[in-house]
Amino acid sequence: MDMELTPERIRWIVQGMIVLLLSVAVHEFGHAYAADRIGDRLPRRQGRVTLNPLAHADPIGTLLLPLLFLASTGGLGFGWGKPVEHTTHDRKRRVYISFAGPAMNVILGTTVAIIHTALLATGVLTFSSPVSGALFYAVMLNFVLFFFNLLPAAPLDGGSVARGLIPRSWLDTWDRIAVYAPFIVMAFILIGPLGRVFTLPARFCASKLYNLLGMIFDNPVLRLVNL
């Protein structure tokens, strides 16, 4: 594995970390904003209803591990933000709060894709430019975060969503199984083929989004994008 820190590699690491920090911040803001909207003021008191990345960054999950992964492999890697605390116990409201984080990643990814397409259509950017590559990366990462976080296993958001939707009579069984859920999550992260469960739908959705935007902006190249 080539570990040489060339200027190109350093630039890619910096871009990747910036994209990850912003994506994690938007994700956690989604949780905090949703809780605040339903009247739970704990996230606001803790300063989490903000898009400031520093309010949501976890030293290990958002900074150290992603940095090491990007530096060693150049890939998407994995990471997490500081969990948003809330006092809501109603199951339906907890589903709303849990789903809001991944939903914000879709919103961010779609917004970046629209801006990216507009910049390409107007000639401000070219496909081969470093900025264009960073924007492609941002779109893909946010769709990956959406599908990954919706895996129905704790401590991911999908675990909370699933627990809020299953019949109450299944809760005891669910909670007993949930003890092993973190090991299942680690398996999806560390075993490459399992990761396709969330990377393949992420690639499909991101590609189709660019194809659609290519038709809207009348860009024949974007119509054929296959991330």
Would you list the domain boundaries of the chain? 7-224
pLDDT for 1 beyond 50:
no
| Amino acid identity for residue 167 in this structure | P
| Amino acid identity for residue 111 in this structure | T
Residue partners of 166: CB distance under 8 A and separation at least 6: 174
What percent of the chain has a predicted confidence (pLDDT) above 90? 56
- The tokens for 90 are 């109603």
> What's residue 76's pLDDT?
57
pLDDT for 61 beyond 90:
no
Annotation marks residue 85 as catalytic: no
The catalytically annotated residue of 4, 8, 28, 85 is 28
pLDDT band per the 50, 70, 90 thresholds, residue 4: low
Q: What is the mean pLDDT of residues 13-25?
A: 89
d(CA 181, CA 17): 28
pLDDT band per the 50, 70, 90 thresholds, residue 186: confident
Determine phi and psi for 155, rounding to 5 degrees: -95, 20
Q: What is the mean pLDDT of residues 182-204?
A: 87
This prediction has a pTM of 0.90
pLDDT for 173 beyond 80:
yes
